[in-house]
Structure 1
Amino acid sequence: MTFRQFAFNNVKRSFGRYAAYFFSSAFAVTVFFMYAAFIFHPDVVNGTIRPSVRRGMVSAEVIIFLFAIFFTFYSTSSFLKMRKKDFGLLTLLGITRSQLNKLIIVENTIIAILSIITGISFGALFTKIFLMMFSVILDLESPLSYYIDWKAIVLTAFLFFVLFETITVMTLVTIRSNKIIDLLKAAKQPKKPPFYSIWLSLLALACLAAGYYLAYSSDIIKMMKRVLPILGLVIIGTYFLYTQASIGLLRFYTKQKRSYYRGTNLVTAAELTYKLKDNARILSIVTILTAVTFTSTGVLANLYFGKKAETEARFPHAIALVAKNGLGQFEEKVQIINNLLQEENIHFTNHQAQLIRVYNPYKLNDHVMQNISLISVSDYNKFADLAHQPHISLPTNTAAYMYPTPDKGYEPIKGKNIALSIKNSNKIVQLKLNKPVYQPVLNPTTHVGYILIVHDHLFNEFKNLATKDTTQYYFGVSYKDWEDKKAVVQKLDDKIQKDKIIDYNTRLESFEIMREFFSLTFFIGFFISILFFLAADSILYLKLYNDLEQDLKQYLSLAKIGLTLKEMKQIAAKQVAILFFVPFAIATVHAGFAFKMLQNMVSGSVVKISVLVIVIFLVVQLIYYFFIRSLYIKKIAKVM
């Protein structure tokens, strides 16, 4: 038998150990290859596809490869740890250090080559579907043809081969520093009795509670400052939850005599205490990876499927026309819009109103206070009808600030009172500020300042004092199925030009921009999220397989004291279920507060899509659990 044959037979005999790592690595190669095939596609290279899309795909490639570095390093280290006893026996039998290093490199090279070949093969097989999905999601006029450039194959094979080989060589250091006796005793190290601190347990709960509160109360402005503290608090809380609080919870359970001494619960709880303590770091990583998967997938899915509702909330009117002054130009453009919509047989509703530009005479250095526009409450309610928003009422001598977008957190006009005056007038009015209106009923525009809603009587007083320079005009139009009226909007774009006086915008234009961005991020993030989820489950599988030899010895001991095979299967099933679903449950809670933070930043409901995402991942987790449990129990049955 040659040295290479010996290495190949080792891989063949130990393929169960390599299975999760092999399939996860192959999937990473598959996803990377499909993205590379897109990047080198002729339509993308020649500029038929927008450059921003290609840049997004390149960014995804970088993320996938960085993740592959982490996962490969962890997996290779786990394999070497699993095989320390084998390496110790080989060293005892006379294998030299250089031969052992060569054996490890050859074995990992075999797995690397198989992963690369499998990944590229499946990538080539699914690239057609990948390109079709991409064409549909980005709504391309002509679908991308099936094409694989040789550069994609070379790039994928070269990068992943170098990655696998480099990390294998780096991890050889852990073997080189161990003596033979240490290698032989690697799996026999006695376990210390689990210890937990009540203070660290309380710290875990405090960190999680603080992180959840920050997420729950965040808006789009606060989120920018809080995202890193939230992530740090949740990671610390999760780690101490496993290392400390879980041990305390199991200790509390041992005092519940009625349940603790029922069936095999005593054995399950006793062994689980050690498993949770030993696997705390792994379970923390798995929980965070799973939570990141749930959060990213849920956020991207909500943004993608909720883009229409979000556009409608940010742009209440399908068409908006604004003029700083110049009523003649404004009415001319309004007539163009009305005539075109009538020619196209589109049933529409519209309303136009006058706005008055005012300022705060006591805050001349405040930009916001010098750029305020007033709208009467009657006109506000008419525009609210067009936008399908509720009416408001205002008492005399009060005003309410209307947010330009539905994003809470940024409130430039606040306080209890405000003073208003109009240019070239000595009139100063003191008003009490009511609660702001968070949902705008006018499309955002640079031609109109910060909008205050005031009582009709007060608005008319300022209107009588207004000049041409302090008068603004707004015209809004609404109609159904606005997203399908591309031809109409194109005709309006050709007839109405923006300038320093006239501003014109359509909901469809913003929707197209939003759809392109959300579609691309969803498409890119979806496959990366799946990769993260598979990696999390693969880490659990590796840990279970790494502990299998020691677990089998314990089950043999249990068999000697009278436990039946059925009872041992029950114990094994419970332990595997807890290791699989406790991280899943905690990750779901983490993601739930992340979804609440998202809900604070978008207009539509995120509940339905978020629940659907969790349910889909739960189904995948159940399938993976039953598969792993079956393999685990079969191993136990073989030695009984």
Structure 2
Amino acid sequence: MTFRQFAFKNVLRNKRLYAAYFLSSLFSVMVFFTFAVFAFHPALGEGAFVQSVSIALMTAEGIIFFFAFFYVLYSMGAFLKTRKNEFGLLIMQGMSPVQLRLMVFLENLLIGFFATIGGIGLGLVFAKLILLIAENVLLIGTELNFYMPVKAMILTFAAFALLFLFISFFTAVLLRSGKLIDLIKSKKQSKGEPKASKWLSLLVVLLIGGGYTAALLVEGMYVAYALVPVVIVVVAGTYFLFTQLSVYIIRRLKEKPAVFWKKTNMLLFSDLSFRMKDNARTFFMVAIVSTVAFSAIGTLYGFKSLLNTAVSEENAYSLTYTISEGNTEAEKQDVNKINEVLADKEIEARREHMVLSYFNIKGQEGPLLIIKISDFNRFAELAGEKPAVVAANGAAAIEYSNETFEAYKSGEELLDTRIPLLSGGSLKPNQVIKTQAMPAARGLVVPDSVFEQLGKPVQSESFYAWMSGDSAKKLIDAGEVLSEELQNGEQPYFFASDFVLYQLNAGYGPTLFVGLFIGMVFFISSGSILYFRLYSDLDDDKEKFRAIARMGLTEQELKKVLNRQIALLFFSPIVVALIHGIVALTALASMFFQPFFIECAYVLLIFTIIQVAYFFIVRYFYVKQIKSAL
């Protein structure tokens, strides 16, 4: 057997430990390759927008590659620790330090080579499906047909070949620095009972509690100012949470006989403080990385929802057209053009028209819109709202029923307005009408008879609205044509809700798509790190439970202890990350005065489901390994 064959068989013998490393590396390669397939796609070669998509995808490539480097580096460190006994045995059998370094170097290159080839292969298998998904998410207006991504394959292979080559050399340096000897001679767990400071444990409550309080109390732009100090405080608190507070709580529980001696709790608590202390840095890293993934995806999804809601609520009609009074010929041509395009696209739409009149009212900054009740009710009906009723000698203030922007709720401010009449008297609004039917955020509605006594307006605009129940695709096509022909500066002003919403989603799609994939890479890598830490204790657990089984430990009790042990390992950092993410997204919502509860719940629920599924899969194989040793 040659030395290369020995290294190859060494990988196969350690496939249980290498599995998570290999699969996660493969996933990172596949995601990197997928973004490269998009970035080099022929359809993204022309046009400012599609080129911006390509730039966003290449930026994501850099982020994924940067993260993959540190992830692989961490994984190799985990291998060195878990295989110390094997290394010591090989050295005692006569293997020289140079041969040992060469063996680890070849093993890492072998894993890296197959992970790279496998990632590219899987990327090719799912390329058409992913391109189809991206075509609908990115909304670039062109088909992303399958092609042979030679450039993407070369870039991916070269990038990860360099990455694994560098990591392999770096690992050899670590082994040569004497750390291998420390690994061979040292015990995996520290001697003596792990200690935790009572004051540092108390500091955790102050740091995290203070950070949460600051994040939840500040509003508006003050959230941005508080971001950096809050992040620093919470990160520090999270570190002490796992290194100090968790150990302190476990020690206190062990001192309570009613807890420690209850059923199988002794088995759980016997080395739990050691595990928490040894895994503290891993838990800390996983919690922070997962928090970043939760917050980033939740923020991106929340922004998309916020912008879509704002556009939908601000514009009750399918199409609107506004032009200053007096441009009769231009108005006639533009309205005819809109009707022609609607007919050409086979769109059925109802139309209403009125003149918007603005008056100078004492106490108001700038002209104020005042509308006849008959005009208002025609548009309210078009928007699907109930008709309003105003007393013969009264008036009503308009308030947008838009829940997205609080600044639009200005109806109450107009209740003290005095409306002068030509007869010498005045009217004061006595009610507020919540509506989306009007194109202005501020205004008054008066009876038709009262409107005739207001005199000549200082400004007038001709306003048209079309409402259609046809498909969004037809309205988007019509909106695109009309926006190019009618958008000539401030006046006339044309707005197509479906087309604007389409443009918004198309512009935001690349950011959301990139953020989603990067967040998933972070989260899956975090789960793999937990897998490494769990299986690094497997041999010790086999010995421990083999000895305890001889004393009468039942299979049911074994499963119960292992379930608790694995659950603590998997869910301790994730629960902390979920709480951090909820606070972060709540703070973001207060920055824009818009709750993201539904969006936040969706994101966190999806990540929780993934983690629970991962837990059950890992638990099954881990318990199987322990039972096989009994």
Distance 1:16 1:503 in 2: 65
Aligned to 1:148: 148
Change in Cα spacing, 1:68 to 1:416, as seen in structure 2 (3 Å) is same
Contact 2:483/2:496 (<8 A) preserved: no
Distance 1:2 1:342 in 2: 77
Q: Which moved more, 1:105-114 or 1:345-354?
A: 345-354
Q: In the alignment, residue 267 of structure 1 is paired with which amino acid?
A: L
Distance 2:592 2:31 in 1: 30
Q: Offset at 1:80? A: 1.9
Q: Offset at 1:69? A: 1.4
Q: In the alignment, residue 287 of structure 1 is paired with which amino acid?
A: A
The equivalent position to 1:356 in structure 2, one of 347, 355, 358, is 358
Q: In the alignment, residue 516 of structure 2 is paired with which amino acid?
A: F
Distance 2:249 2:353 in 1: 63
Distance 1:241 1:389 in 2: 54
Change in Cα spacing, 1:92 to 1:606, as seen in structure 2 (3 Å) is same
Q: Does 1:406 align with 2:408?
A: no
Q: Offset at 1:477? A: 4.0
Contact 2:400/2:408 (<8 A) preserved: no
Deviations 1:443-468 (A, max 9, x none): 6xxxx8xx5445859x979964753x
Contact 1:357/1:471 (<8 A) preserved: no
Distance 2:81 2:366 in 1: 67
Q: Secondary structure at the match of 2:493?
A: strand
Contact 1:375/1:452 (<8 A) preserved: no
Aligned to 1:570: 560
Deviations 1:274-330 (A, max 9, x none): 222221221122223333333444454566678754430243433233345646468
Aligned to 1:184: 184
Q: Which moved more, 1:235-244 or 1:71-80?
A: 235-244
Q: Offset at 1:518? A: 3.5
Aligned to 1:513: 503
Distance 1:206 1:353 in 2: 61
Aligned to 2:108: 108
Aligned to 1:366: none
Q: In the alignment, residue 498 of structure 1 is paired with which amino acid?
A: N
Q: Which moved more, 1:481-490 or 1:389-398?
A: 389-398
Distance 2:237 2:433 in 1: 37
Distance 1:284 1:208 in 2: 14
Distance 1:418 1:171 in 2: 74
Aligned to 1:63: 63
The equivalent position to 2:610 in structure 1, one of 609, 614, 620, is 620
Distance 2:529 2:142 in 1: 41
Distance 2:367 2:205 in 1: 47
Q: Offset at 1:112? A: 0.7
Q: Which moved more, 1:74-83 or 1:219-228?
A: 219-228
Q: Offset at 1:404? A: 10
- 1:121-136 → structure 2 map (5 Å cutoff): 121-136=121-136
Distance 1:440 1:223 in 2: 30
Q: Which moved more, 1:572-581 or 1:257-266?
A: 257-266
Distance 1:545 1:20 in 2: 10
Aligned to 1:530: 520
Q: Offset at 1:188? A: 4.2
Deviations 1:102-151 (A, max 9, x none): 22211111111111111111111111211122223345666432212322
Q: Secondary structure at the match of 2:75?
A: helix
Change in Cα spacing, 1:518 to 1:11, as seen in structure 2 (3 Å) is same
Distance 2:205 2:378 in 1: 50
Aligned to 2:493: 503
Q: In the alignment, residue 570 of structure 1 is paired with which amino acid?
A: K
Distance 1:472 1:404 in 2: 23
Contact 1:28/1:531 (<8 A) preserved: yes
Q: Does 1:637 align with 2:622?
A: no
Aligned to 2:170: 170
Distance 2:496 2:356 in 1: 20
Q: Does 1:544 align with 2:546?
A: no
The equivalent position to 2:472 in structure 1, one of 474, 477, 483, is 483
Contact 2:401/2:436 (<8 A) preserved: yes
Q: Secondary structure at the match of 2:488?
A: coil
Contact 1:317/1:387 (<8 A) preserved: yes
- 1:289-438 → structure 2 map (5 Å cutoff): 289-301=289-301, 309-323=309-323, 326=326, 328=328, 332=332, 335-336=335-336, 339-340=339-340, 346-348=348-350, 350=352, 352-354=354-356, 356=358, 374=369, 406-407=404-405
Deviations 1:325-351 (A, max 9, x none): 646468536854785598556243545
Aligned to 1:364: none
Q: In the alignment, residue 185 of structure 2 is paired with which amino acid?
A: K
Distance 2:230 2:333 in 1: 50
**TM-score using structure 2 length:** 0.81
Q: Offset at 1:601? A: 7.4
Q: Secondary structure at the match of 1:148?
A: coil
Distance 1:472 1:91 in 2: 90
Aligned to 1:589: 579
Distance 2:170 2:12 in 1: 24
Deviations 1:550-581 (A, max 9, x none): 33343345446554555344322210012112
Contact 1:358/1:374 (<8 A) preserved: no
Change in Cα spacing, 1:146 to 1:452, as seen in structure 2 (3 Å) is closer
Distance 2:311 2:41 in 1: 32
Q: Secondary structure at the match of 2:148?
A: coil
Distance 1:244 1:391 in 2: 65
Q: In the alignment, residue 32 of structure 1 is paired with which amino acid?
A: F
Deviations 1:188-240 (A, max 9, x none): 45344233344444443344444445555676745544444454344333323
Distance 1:626 1:317 in 2: 50
Deviations 1:498-537 (A, max 9, x none): 2454222221231121121333333333332322221111
Q: Which moved more, 1:246-255 or 1:338-347?
A: 338-347
Distance 1:327 1:252 in 2: 82
Q: Does 1:75 align with 2:80?
A: no
Distance 2:187 2:517 in 1: 37
Distance 1:207 1:591 in 2: 16
Change in Cα spacing, 1:400 to 1:205, as seen in structure 2 (3 Å) is farther
Change in Cα spacing, 1:461 to 1:552, as seen in structure 2 (3 Å) is farther
Q: Offset at 1:45? A: 3.2
Change in Cα spacing, 1:279 to 1:322, as seen in structure 2 (3 Å) is same
Change in Cα spacing, 1:129 to 1:335, as seen in structure 2 (3 Å) is closer
Aligned to 2:242: 242
Change in Cα spacing, 1:186 to 1:569, as seen in structure 2 (3 Å) is farther
Q: In the alignment, residue 6 of structure 2 is paired with which amino acid?
A: F
Q: Offset at 1:542? A: 0.6
Distance 2:541 2:602 in 1: 37
Q: In the alignment, residue 29 of structure 1 is paired with which amino acid?
A: V
Change in Cα spacing, 1:633 to 1:15, as seen in structure 2 (3 Å) is same
Q: Offset at 1:79? A: 1.4
Change in Cα spacing, 1:130 to 1:341, as seen in structure 2 (3 Å) is closer
Q: Secondary structure at the match of 2:187?
A: helix
Q: Secondary structure at the match of 1:348?
A: strand
Contact 1:302/1:606 (<8 A) preserved: yes
Distance 1:380 1:279 in 2: 67
Distance 1:476 1:223 in 2: 39
In the comparison of the two structures, how many residue pairs are matched? 618
Q: In the alignment, residue 592 of structure 1 is paired with which amino acid?
A: I
Change in Cα spacing, 1:169 to 1:192, as seen in structure 2 (3 Å) is farther
Contact 1:314/1:406 (<8 A) preserved: no
Aligned to 1:90: 90
Q: In the alignment, residue 480 of structure 1 is paired with which amino acid?
A: G
**TM-score using structure 1 length:** 0.80
Percent of aligned positions that are identical: 30
Change in Cα spacing, 1:377 to 1:610, as seen in structure 2 (3 Å) is farther
Distance 1:524 1:258 in 2: 51
- 1:455-474 → structure 2 map (5 Å cutoff): 464=455, 466-467=457-458, 470-471=459-460, 474=463
Deviations 1:157-199 (A, max 9, x none): 1100111121232243433332665232233453442333444
